[in-house]
Structure 1
Amino acid sequence: MEVVTKGFELIIFDCDGVLVDSEPIINRAHARVLTACGYSITEEALIERFCGMSDAEMLDIIEREWGRALPGFYAARVGEMIESGFRQSLAPIDSVAEFLDGLRLPRCVASSSVPQQIRYKLELTGLLTYFGDNLFSATMVAHGKPAPDLFLYAAEQLRTAPTRCLVIEDSAAGIDAAVAAGMTAIGFSGGSHCGPAHAARLQTHGAKLVIANMRELAVMTGLA
């Protein structure tokens, strides 16, 4: 199966789980600190429920469900664990650099992470050079994924009509956001956090197709 790529003018990448294999590191840190604080939850449950959302939105939901505020040290402790994990084991998604090397379209990143974290992760994995300053964060818009705001903002900044944008996303929230923005969405299930049901879930949310590696993306789209 091949996506009809004629007419696309911009490809929008999510960051975590699409460009860098960071979801397990991030969610492991949150799960450990949340559990230590008294809100017992696993890494897998966090990924299932909140993958694609910003930390702020995720923690707001957790605090409302829990009926109490997280302690003041929470952000610093999680941040230290994530930073340590990134330095030890953060890696780019397999073959993503090769795909970006051959990509003929303009591209950008639209992520739920804060701007400095997007840049840091891409620098650490050697991918920043492919995007320059075309990095867009959920902090730049009123509503993060699954709302369409972030993707629409990225398209507006790069002067591209939504219908001319192709989005690569690993989360149901991200697919929802792309579809709501009027963009074509391709699901990615090649991150180490993706279980056997992940691809079907992305298709259910509206992904035009789901691919498991970047070599497959190049073949199916003809973009690189």
Structure 2
Amino acid sequence: MGQETMMKTVIFDFDGVIADSEIIALAELQVSLAEYGITVDWNTLLEKFLGASVKQIIAFAEARIDGPVDPDFQKDWYARLFERYRRELKPMPGAEAMLDRLDAAGIDYCIASGGSYKRLGVALQAIGFAERFEGRAFSAESVEHGKPAPDLFLYAAEKRGAPPADCVVLEDAIAGVTGAGRAGMRAIGFVGGSHLEGARSPHAERLRAAGAATVLTGLSGFEAAAFGAV
């Protein structure tokens, strides 16, 4: 890799980028919303909830039912979700090899996720990445405003000691690409997750429209897209 890469910090979204988890999380969220009489089709789930924090999801539900959700909404959703994570969750194909290459090149990286720290912890443990990301997996719980606000990306950069202009972000969510741009960071889109089967091309166009410099369908080409050198 070229010298330019040594100046960069990579900020990864987690769900749908490092872990192939969105197909599980969105399916279980769909069930939880249906319990309140809220019917949401798959395309709407992709549009509304990729990159969303629990606070944003609850706000959506409460607006739809014009009242509060049960205090156990998150607990019940997470109980089903975590059971499936422990049984089914896998890393995104190519994620481990990509992270190994970044480690070998001395390139810093971290996670900036709309999910809670509890959800991140369970998922990282399930895919065997907990030790690799110890101390560098950040949640929207740490900031006032989740994606598409820039807060979480700026928080992650500060924690890693990296100027925003020296960070590159890999995101599958429109909210994440938007937030990265607002933080002054270069964003690369990703559409390789199972949740985007049958919708990769239109979602890639939406990511580009939101500001993604390029969009990847797999992780093997990440370094070339991020740094222009391999």
TM-score (norm 2): 0.89
Partner of 2:91: 92
Asked if structure 1 preserves the Cα contact closer than 8 Å seen for 2:62 and 2:69, the reply is yes
Partner of 1:51: 50
Partner of 2:166: 164
Deviation at 1:167, TM superposition (A): 0.5
Equivalent pairs, count:
221
User: SS in structure 1 opposite 2:93?
Assistant: coil
Deviation at 1:219, TM superposition (A): 4.1
Query: Deviations along 1:135-194, whole A, 9 cap, x unmatched?
Result: 111111111100000000111111111000010111000000000000000111101112
User: SS in structure 2 opposite 1:71?
Assistant: coil
User: SS in structure 1 opposite 2:187?
Assistant: strand
Partner of 2:59: 60
TM-score (norm 1): 0.92
User: SS in structure 2 opposite 1:190?
Assistant: coil
Deviation at 1:54, TM superposition (A): 0.4
Deviation at 1:210, TM superposition (A): 0.5
Distance in 2 (CA, whole Å) between partners of 1:130 and 1:86 is 18
Unpaired runs of 5+ residues, structure 1, are none
Partner of 2:18: 19
One-letter amino acid of the structure 1 residue matched with residue 190 of structure 2: F
Asked if structure 2 preserves the Cα contact closer than 8 Å seen for 1:7 and 1:164, the reply is no
Distance in 2 (CA, whole Å) between partners of 1:215 and 1:85 is 27
Shift of the 193–8 alpha-carbon distance from structure 1 to 2, 3 Å rule, reads farther
Deviation at 1:8, TM superposition (A): 3.8
Asked if structure 1 preserves the Cα contact closer than 8 Å seen for 2:19 and 2:91, the reply is yes
Shift of the 73–157 alpha-carbon distance from structure 1 to 2, 3 Å rule, reads closer
User: SS in structure 1 opposite 2:131?
Assistant: helix
> Which of 208, 225, 228 matches 1:220?
225
Distance in 1 (CA, whole Å) between partners of 2:71 and 2:121 is 26
One-letter amino acid of the structure 2 residue matched with residue 177 of structure 1: G
> Which of 201, 206, 209 matches 1:204?
209
Shift of the 98–203 alpha-carbon distance from structure 1 to 2, 3 Å rule, reads same
Distance in 2 (CA, whole Å) between partners of 1:118 and 1:207 is 25
Superposed, 1:2-151 pairs within 5 Å as 6=5, 8-103=7-102, 104=105, 105-151=107-153
User: Identity across aligned pairs (percent)?
Assistant: 33
Partner of 1:183: 185
Distance in 2 (CA, whole Å) between partners of 1:193 and 1:143 is 25
User: SS in structure 2 opposite 1:215?
Assistant: coil
- Measured on the aligned residues, the alpha-carbon RMSD in Å equals 1.9
Unpaired runs of 5+ residues, structure 2, are none
Asked if structure 2 preserves the Cα contact closer than 8 Å seen for 1:138 and 1:150, the reply is yes
Shift of the 97–10 alpha-carbon distance from structure 1 to 2, 3 Å rule, reads same
